[in-house]
Amino acid sequence: MPPQADPEPALIPAITAFEASPDRGRGHARDMRVRWALEEVGQPYDVRLVSFAEMKQPAHLALHPFGQIPTYEEGDLALFETGAIVLHIAQQHRGLLPEEATSRARAIAWMFAALNTVEPPIVEREAAMLMERDKPWFEARAPLLEERARRRLADLSARLDDADWLDGSFTAADLLMVTVLRRPAAADLLDSYPNLEAYIARGEARPAYRRAFADQLAVFTAQSPRPD
């Protein structure tokens, strides 16, 4: 009987993250979403830190045509866009999407809702608060931006009601939605939606979230605590 070939070694995916982030590792940079997904499924990964200058160089633009982070590399596969990366991880590993087809489709729909419906007005408000405060139009525009964000939060709050997660058990949709709601331009509005505050707290209490947060924060601190 001929000797059997050794099994192929498992590929360790690599992601990119900010070498220097404006939030100093508070979990707002989008690599946090990918880190959390990988931690949830128990997949080891490597991190390559990139500067803002490096993100505009050809080597990085070949991975991410818009010069952003994160990127994801696994063998010959290179991905960009957080939602696409998290969906890929969820499809490759158990634990982030339901097995049953209808429930799985609903979870994917909620993933798109987090990134395409809930996040845009939050990010637009955030950008204005950061970059337009000194502009003559900011004072008139600010209430409209707040109203748009509140409308999405109110709709989401009504749909979540008193449930723990968006649709049954925790999925990649909750992972994305929690990180969207943690953005500063949403967080300062959450006093009006206690069920959303509790929803975020449940996400942040997950061991996988805590490990991902600690690892992202460790980039900007001298130690790397990894809670169990």
For the chain, the domains span 14-95+209-218, 101-206
Q: Which residue has the higher pLDDT, 163 or 25?
A: 163
Please tell me the predicted confidence (pLDDT) of residue 64.
97
Structural fold of domain 14-95+209-218: Glutaredoxin (3.40.30)
**pLDDT tens sequence across 30-54:** 999 999 999 999 999 999 999 999 9
Looking at the chain, the whole-number percentage of residues with pLDDT higher than 90 is 80
Please tell me the predicted confidence (pLDDT) of residue 222.
56
Give the CB-side neighbour count of residue 24, counting CA atoms within 13 A: 2
pLDDT at 226 over 80: no
Contact (CB, 8 A) for 45 and 13: yes
Please tell me the predicted confidence (pLDDT) of residue 6.
41
Average pLDDT, the chain: 92
pLDDT at 1 over 80: no
CATH 2.60.40.10 assigned to 101-206:
no
Give the CB-side neighbour count of residue 104, counting CA atoms within 13 A: 11
pLDDT at 5 over 50: no
Residue ranges of the alpha helices (H) in the chain? 31-41, 58-61, 82-92, 101-113, 119-131, 138-160, 172-181, 184-187, 194-205, 207-218
Give the CB-side neighbour count of residue 61, counting CA atoms within 13 A: 5
Q: How confident is the model at residue 7 (pLDDT cuts 50, 70, 90)?
A: very low
Q: Given CA atoms 225, 70, 122, 193 in this order, what sign does their dihedral have? A: negative
CA distance 31 to 45: 12
